[in-house]
Protein backbone atom coordinates (compact mmCIF):
# COMPACT_ATOMS: atom_id res chain seq x y z
CA UNK A 1 0.00 0.00 0.00
CA UNK A 2 1.41 3.35 -0.99
CA UNK A 3 2.04 5.92 1.72
CA UNK A 4 -0.28 8.39 0.05
CA UNK A 5 -1.18 10.06 3.31
CA UNK A 6 2.36 11.19 3.93
CA UNK A 7 2.59 13.01 0.65
CA UNK A 8 2.76 16.76 0.88
CA UNK A 9 -0.20 17.10 -1.42
CA UNK A 10 -2.51 15.19 0.90
CA UNK A 11 -1.45 17.06 4.00
CA UNK A 12 -1.95 20.36 2.18
CA UNK A 13 -5.49 19.26 1.30
CA UNK A 14 -6.15 18.31 4.90
CA UNK A 15 -4.74 21.59 6.23
CA UNK A 16 -7.02 23.53 3.91
CA UNK A 17 -10.03 21.55 5.10
CA UNK A 18 -9.07 22.10 8.74
CA UNK A 19 -8.92 25.85 8.11
CA UNK A 20 -12.30 25.76 6.44
CA UNK A 21 -14.10 23.86 9.20
CA UNK A 22 -12.27 24.49 12.48
CA UNK A 23 -14.41 27.42 13.61
CA UNK A 24 -17.75 25.69 13.12
CA UNK A 25 -19.48 24.68 16.37
CA UNK A 26 -18.98 20.93 16.77
CA UNK A 27 -16.48 20.97 13.93
CA UNK A 28 -15.04 17.47 14.19
CA UNK A 29 -17.65 15.46 12.31
CA UNK A 30 -18.05 17.94 9.44
CA UNK A 31 -14.26 18.04 9.16
CA UNK A 32 -13.86 14.26 9.12
CA UNK A 33 -16.58 14.02 6.47
CA UNK A 34 -14.83 16.64 4.37
CA UNK A 35 -11.52 14.79 4.62
CA UNK A 36 -13.04 11.42 3.76
CA UNK A 37 -15.11 12.90 0.91
CA UNK A 38 -11.98 14.43 -0.56
CA UNK A 39 -9.34 11.75 -0.18
CA UNK A 40 -11.40 8.64 0.47
CA UNK A 41 -10.45 8.01 4.09
CA UNK A 42 -9.18 9.71 7.24
CA UNK A 43 -5.45 9.04 7.53
CA UNK A 44 -4.16 8.49 11.05
CA UNK A 45 -1.35 10.88 10.21
CA UNK A 46 -3.92 13.70 10.16
CA UNK A 47 -4.91 13.24 13.81
CA UNK A 48 -2.21 15.50 15.21
CA UNK A 49 -3.08 18.45 12.98
CA UNK A 50 -6.81 17.98 13.64
CA UNK A 51 -6.35 17.72 17.38
CA UNK A 52 -4.23 20.88 17.53
CA UNK A 53 -6.70 22.90 15.47
CA UNK A 54 -9.72 21.80 17.51
CA UNK A 55 -7.98 21.78 20.93
CA UNK A 56 -8.54 18.08 21.39
CA UNK A 57 -6.23 15.24 22.30
CA UNK A 58 -5.12 12.82 19.59
CA UNK A 59 -6.92 10.13 21.58
CA UNK A 60 -10.19 12.04 21.30
CA UNK A 61 -9.84 12.33 17.53
CA UNK A 62 -8.98 8.64 17.27
CA UNK A 63 -11.95 7.84 19.49
CA UNK A 64 -14.36 9.69 17.24
CA UNK A 65 -12.97 8.31 13.97
CA UNK A 66 -13.23 4.75 15.23
CA UNK A 67 -16.62 5.14 16.94
CA UNK A 68 -18.47 5.79 13.69
CA UNK A 69 -18.90 3.01 11.13
CA UNK A 70 -18.79 5.51 8.29
CA UNK A 71 -15.19 6.65 8.79
CA UNK A 72 -12.25 4.64 7.43
CA UNK A 73 -8.58 5.00 8.22
CA UNK A 74 -7.32 3.28 5.08
CA UNK A 75 -7.77 3.86 1.39
CA UNK A 76 -10.73 1.77 0.19
CA UNK A 77 -11.20 0.23 -3.24
CA UNK A 78 -12.22 2.39 -6.18
CA UNK A 79 -15.85 1.62 -5.41
CA UNK A 80 -17.65 0.79 -2.19
CA UNK A 81 -20.47 -1.71 -2.22
CA UNK A 82 -22.75 -1.78 0.82
CA UNK A 83 -25.24 -4.59 1.27
CA UNK A 84 -28.11 -4.03 3.65
CA UNK A 85 -28.26 -6.57 6.48
CA UNK A 86 -31.32 -5.19 8.27
CA UNK A 87 -34.59 -7.04 8.91
CA UNK A 88 -36.58 -5.85 5.92
CA UNK A 89 -33.88 -6.96 3.52
CA UNK A 90 -33.48 -10.24 5.40
CA UNK A 91 -37.19 -10.86 4.81
CA UNK A 92 -36.45 -10.58 1.08
CA UNK A 93 -33.38 -12.78 0.85
CA UNK A 94 -30.45 -10.50 1.65
CA UNK A 95 -28.56 -13.31 3.37
CA UNK A 96 -28.26 -15.17 0.09
CA UNK A 97 -27.20 -11.94 -1.58
CA UNK A 98 -24.47 -11.36 1.01
CA UNK A 99 -23.17 -14.89 0.59
CA UNK A 100 -23.25 -14.51 -3.18
CA UNK A 101 -21.29 -11.24 -3.06
CA UNK A 102 -18.66 -12.63 -0.71
CA UNK A 103 -18.22 -15.71 -2.87
CA UNK A 104 -18.02 -13.81 -6.17
CA UNK A 105 -15.62 -11.22 -4.83
CA UNK A 106 -13.70 -13.74 -2.76
CA UNK A 107 -13.59 -11.33 0.19
CA UNK A 108 -15.43 -10.82 3.47
CA UNK A 109 -16.97 -7.59 4.80
CA UNK A 110 -14.55 -4.72 5.40
CA UNK A 111 -12.18 -6.13 2.76
CA UNK A 112 -11.16 -4.98 -0.71
CA UNK A 113 -10.84 -7.14 -3.82
CA UNK A 114 -7.32 -8.03 -4.93
CA UNK A 115 -7.59 -5.76 -8.00
CA UNK A 116 -8.49 -2.80 -5.74
CA UNK A 117 -11.82 -2.32 -7.53
CA UNK A 118 -14.30 -2.87 -4.74
CA UNK A 119 -14.60 -2.69 -0.96
CA UNK A 120 -17.48 -4.64 0.58
CA UNK A 121 -19.27 -3.22 3.62
CA UNK A 122 -22.38 -4.19 5.55
CA UNK A 123 -24.98 -1.48 6.14
CA UNK A 124 -27.96 -1.45 8.48
CA UNK A 125 -30.81 0.06 6.49
CA UNK A 126 -30.72 2.29 3.45
CA UNK A 127 -34.32 3.46 3.82
CA UNK A 128 -35.38 1.55 0.71
CA UNK A 129 -37.34 -1.05 2.67
CA UNK A 130 -40.37 -1.21 0.37
CA UNK A 131 -38.04 -2.46 -2.37
CA UNK A 132 -35.79 -4.82 -0.40
CA UNK A 133 -33.18 -6.21 -0.72
CA UNK A 134 -31.07 -3.09 -1.15
CA UNK A 135 -27.52 -2.45 -2.21
CA UNK A 136 -25.60 0.79 -2.47
CA UNK A 137 -22.61 1.31 -4.74
CA UNK A 138 -20.84 4.57 -3.88
CA UNK A 139 -23.80 7.00 -3.64
CA UNK A 140 -26.19 5.08 -5.87
CA UNK A 141 -28.88 2.89 -4.37
CA UNK A 142 -30.39 -0.24 -5.95
CA UNK A 143 -33.58 -2.02 -4.94
CA UNK A 144 -35.06 -5.51 -5.43
CA UNK A 145 -31.52 -6.69 -6.19
CA UNK A 146 -31.26 -10.30 -7.37
CA UNK A 147 -27.99 -12.23 -7.41
CA UNK A 148 -27.74 -11.75 -11.19
CA UNK A 149 -28.29 -8.01 -10.82
CA UNK A 150 -25.60 -7.99 -8.16
CA UNK A 151 -23.27 -9.66 -10.67
CA UNK A 152 -23.99 -6.83 -13.10
CA UNK A 153 -23.25 -4.20 -10.45
CA UNK A 154 -19.98 -5.93 -9.60
CA UNK A 155 -19.00 -6.16 -13.26
CA UNK A 156 -19.76 -2.48 -13.76
CA UNK A 157 -17.76 -1.46 -10.71
CA UNK A 158 -14.80 -3.56 -11.80
CA UNK A 159 -14.82 -2.07 -15.29
CA UNK A 160 -14.91 1.59 -14.24
CA UNK A 161 -11.80 3.32 -13.03
CA UNK A 162 -13.21 6.14 -10.95
CA UNK A 163 -16.39 6.86 -9.04
CA UNK A 164 -19.27 7.67 -11.35
Partner 1 sequence: MVTKVYIPRDSSALAVGAEKVAAAVAAEAKARGLDVEIVRNGSRGLYWLETMVEVATEQGRVAYGPVKAKDVPALFDAGFIHGKPHALSLGLTEEIEWLKKQQRLTFARVGITDPVSLEDYLAHDGYKGMKNALKLSGAEIVKTVTDSGLRGRGGAAFPTGIKWNTVLGCESEQKYVVCNADEGDSGTYSDRMIMEGDPFVLIEGMTIAGVAVGATQGYIYLRSEYPHALAVLNEAIEVANKAGYLGENILGSGKTFKLEVRRAAGAYVCGEETSLLESLEGKRGLVRFKPPLPAIEGLFGKPTVVNNVISLATVPIILDKGAQFYADYGMGRSRGTLPIQLAGNLKQGGLVELAFGATLRELLYDYGGGSASGRPIRAVQVGGPLGAYLPESQFDTPLDYEEFAKLWAVLGHGGIVAFDDTVDMAKMARYAFEFCAVESCGKCTPCRIGSTRGMEVIDKITAGKDHAKSITLVRDLSDTMLNGSLCALGGMTPYPVLSALNHFPEDFGVSSGGLSSEAK
Binding positions for partner 1, rule: CB under 8 A: 25-30, 32-33, 54, 60, 63-64, 67-71, 86-92, 123-132, 134, 136, 139-144
Nearer CB in complex with partner 1: 118/145: 145
Nearer CB in complex with partner 1: 3/160: 160
Shortest Cβ 45–partner 1 spacing (Å): 20
Nearer CB in complex with partner 1: 87/156: 87
Beta bridge partners of 16: none
Nearer CB in complex with partner 1: 27/118: 27
Shortest Cβ 98–partner 1 spacing (Å): 13
Shortest Cβ 99–partner 1 spacing (Å): 14
Shortest Cβ 32–partner 1 spacing (Å): 7
Burial of 129 (0-12, 13-18, 19+ CB in 10 A): middle
- CB contact at 8 A, 101 and 154: yes
What is the C-alpha to C-alpha distance for residues 2 and 90, in angstroms, rounded to an integer? 38
Shortest Cβ 115–partner 1 spacing (Å): 26
Collapsing DSSP to helix, strand or coil, 24 comes out as: coil
Q: Cα–chain-centroid distance for residue 163?
A: 12
Nearer CB in complex with partner 1: 106/148: 148
Alpha helices (H) along 6-164: 8-21, 28-39, 47-54, 58-67, 87-90, 94-105, 147-159
Amino acid sequence: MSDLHTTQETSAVIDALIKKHQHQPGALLPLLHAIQDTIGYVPESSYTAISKALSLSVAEVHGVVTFYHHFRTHQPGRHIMQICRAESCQAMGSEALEAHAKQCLNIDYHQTTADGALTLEPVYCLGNCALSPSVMVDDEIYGRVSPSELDALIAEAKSTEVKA
